[in-house]
């Protein structure tokens, strides 16, 4: 059981400020968040590690299932002397079409899995770490999958999809720089100042002849010998291409700033949905923006402060990064708790909006006070502990909706 101790000092101060000054923000520092995160992981670190590993597998990137095309793939074709005209017949093969269909189906399944399953796991991970800092016993692994209920699954999917849709829209801004540069270079090189190719670079003869996969360097040997001539004849075009490339990269970097800004503005969405999936997809995103107002840069610096830990993880044969993840997530949970309290104190939301219900404490003899206990879920009542907070002089610790014990 996790009893209240000195680790709650910052939490007590925030409660006092919350109770005494409506509208006053509870500020935070990186050291406070990290200290509280370490203490919240006391006795629950290995379960937290299991949660992050499962989340990384089920909601991570597709590196577990990726296939890389490399030199070995070409070496397998050694001895295959195909004319490029034969590729049309090859692509008409029934087996090739079946492979393409299978790849397309796998891609579709992957997209659906990402939308309807992985996003819910992400919100479930946030839910678990929130419960870990708020409840005395270590939450069960069921909290990670607790949002896969009939009345919470699709609302969670909708909220996460709405967030990722806007992140995708903002991510298109840097692509505009590359698209514009490509169009401009195409018009310049195609209409105004075409590249002057050496006479020996006859694409038709090179690409229509029999191709030998075992002698790939030899295929371009004569091209390499003529590269000096190509460079001499196209110095102005090459200079312009280089200048456009550098300018495009700089512009793309500048256009990435709004996307980075929005990614931090939307960061609390999954935590909000973890607390209350039925808050509504628009409300969750809007509330996240409001909660992060004035905190985005500090959160960015908080992320940078973990670089040292991740470098140590890389030095530990990469696998060390896995052991840093619970610490990072627990710190984010502490940040969310502060921002959630600020949102309530500023009147942006109520604790009921975050899935809490006020209940009377008359049974404990503490008349005139109230506690917040989990609401009853559609699946039946959860098991609130019903005991008042033992933090003297503060509002009792608030228990989230549908807490499992």
Q: What angle do CA 251, 255, 257 make, to 5 degrees?
A: 125
Between 304 and 310, name the one with better pLDDT.
Answer: 304
Backbone phi, psi, residue 315, to 5°: -65, -25
pLDDT of residue 394: 36
Confidence of residue 217 (pLDDT cuts 50, 70, 90): low
Look over the chain and give the mean of its residue pLDDT values, rounded to a whole number. Answer: 77
- Rounded to 10 deg, the angle between the 320-345 and 30-40 helix axes is 110
Between 5 and 343, name the one with better pLDDT.
Answer: 343
Q: What angle do CA 339, 341, 345 make, to 5 degrees?
A: 115
CA–chain centroid gap for 56, Å, is 11
Domain ranges of the chain: 6-61+93-188+259-374, 189-258
Q: Tens digits of per-residue pLDDT, 250-280?
A: 999 999 999 999 999 999 999 999 999 999 9
Q: Tens digits of per-residue pLDDT, 338-349?
A: 999 999 999 999
Q: Cα–Cα distances in Å, from 105 out to 69, 111, 117, 185?
A: 20, 10, 17, 36
The rounded percent of the chain whose pLDDT value lies above 70 is 66
Q: Tens digits of per-residue pLDDT, 317-375?
A: 667 788 899 999 999 999 999 999 999 999 999 999 998 876 544 344 434 333 454 44
pLDDT of residue 221: 58
Q: What is the pTM of this model?
A: 0.73
pLDDT of residue 363: 42
Q: Tens digits of per-residue pLDDT, 12-51?
A: 344 434 444 445 567 899 999 999 999 999 999 999 999 9
What's the DSSP call for residue 289? H
Which of the residue ranges 93-97, 191-195, 360-364 has the most confident prediction, judged by mean pLDDT? Answer: 191-195
Buried b (16+ CB within 10 A) or exposed e, 193-210: eeeeebeeeeeeeeeeee
For the segment 215-224, the average pLDDT, to the nearest whole number, is: 57
Between 219 and 282, name the one with better pLDDT.
Answer: 282
For the segment 75-91, the average pLDDT, to the nearest whole number, is: 53
Q: Cα–Cα distances in Å, from 226 out to 157, 190, 221, 222, 230?
A: 57, 22, 9, 7, 6
Cβ contacts of 253-260, under 8 Å, gap ≥ 24: 253/174, 255/173, 255/174, 255/176, 255/177, 256/173, 256/174, 258/170, 258/173, 259/167, 259/170, 259/171, 259/173, 259/174, 260/300
């Amino acid at each position: 059981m996790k009893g209240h101790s000195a680790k709650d000092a910052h939490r007590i101060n925030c409660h006092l400020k919350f109770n005494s000054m409506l509208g006053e923000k509870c500020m935070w520092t990186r050291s406070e968040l990290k200290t509280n995160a370490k203490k919240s992981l006391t006795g629950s670190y290995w379960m937290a590690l299991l949660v992050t590993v499962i989340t990384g597998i089920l909601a991570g990137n597709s590196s577990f299932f990726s296939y890389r095309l490399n030199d070995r793939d070409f070496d397998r074709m050694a001895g295959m002397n195909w004319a490029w005209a034969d590729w049309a017949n090859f692509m008409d093969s029934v087996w090739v079409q079946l492979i393409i269909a299978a790849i397309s189906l796998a891609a579709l399944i992957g997209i659906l899995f990402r939308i309807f399953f992985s996003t819910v796991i992400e919100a479930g991970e946030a839910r678990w770490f929130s419960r870990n800092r708020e409840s005395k016993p270590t939450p069960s692994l069921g909290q990670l999958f607790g949002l896969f209920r009939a009345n919470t699954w699709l609302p969670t999917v909708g909220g996460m999809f709405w967030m990722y849709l806007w992140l995708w829209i903002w991510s298109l801004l840097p692509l505009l720089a590359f698209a514009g540069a490509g169009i401009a270079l195409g018009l310049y090189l195609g209409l105004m100042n075409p590249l002057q190719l050496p006479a020996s670079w006859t694409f038709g003869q090179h690409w229509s002849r029999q191709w030998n996969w075992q002698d790939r360097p030899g295929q371009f040997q004569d091209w390499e010998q003529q590269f000096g001539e190509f460079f001499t004849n196209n110095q102005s075009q090459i200079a312009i291409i280089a200048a456009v490339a550098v300018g495009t990269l700089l512009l793309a970097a500048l256009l990435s700033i709004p996307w980075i800004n929005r990614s931090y503005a939307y960061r609390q969405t999954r935590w909000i949905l973890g607390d209350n999936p039925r808050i509504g997809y628009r409300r969750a995103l809007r509330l996240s923006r409001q909660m992060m107002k004035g905190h985005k840069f500090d959160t960015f610096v908080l992320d940078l402060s973990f670089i040292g830990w991740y470098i140590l993880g890389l030095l530990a044969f990469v696998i060390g990064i896995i052991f840093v993840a619970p610490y990072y997530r627990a710190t984010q949970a502490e940040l969310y708790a502060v921002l959630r309290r600020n949102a309530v104190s500023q009147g942006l939301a109520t604790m009921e909006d975050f899935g809490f219900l006020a209940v009377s404490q008359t049974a404990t003899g503490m008349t005139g006070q109230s506690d917040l206990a989990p609401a009853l879920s559609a699946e039946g009542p959860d098991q609130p502990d019903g005991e008042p907070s033992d933090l003297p002089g503060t509002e009792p610790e608030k228990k989230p909706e549908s807490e499992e014990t």
